Amino acid sequence: MLKYPEISPTIVKLGPIEIRWYGFMYVLGFVIAYFIIKSEVTRKKIKLYSR
């Protein structure tokens, strides 16, 4: 029988503030998506807005 790993959902706890894994992954995903979109816009010379 496989033993289920006991991983704490909290990465860091600073007083009353906790940073959890799923929140960190959401932020990481948005940051990575931002940089991928930014590089594709400059590489393909896409206009996202008009001035």
Which ranges constitute the DSSP H helices of 1-51?
21-44
pLDDT digits (tens, 9 = 90+) for 12-45: 999 999 999 999 999 999 999 999 999 999 899 8
List the domain boundaries for the chain.
Answer: 1-51
**Cβ-proximal residues to 7 (8 Å cutoff; 6+ apart), any chain:** 21
Residue 50 has pLDDT above 70, yes or no: no
Residue 48 has pLDDT above 90, yes or no: no
pLDDT score for 19: 94
Residue 47, classed as helix, strand or coil, is coil
pLDDT score for 27: 96
**Cβ contact 19:12 at 8 Å:** yes
pTM, 2 dp: 0.70
pLDDT score for 51: 63
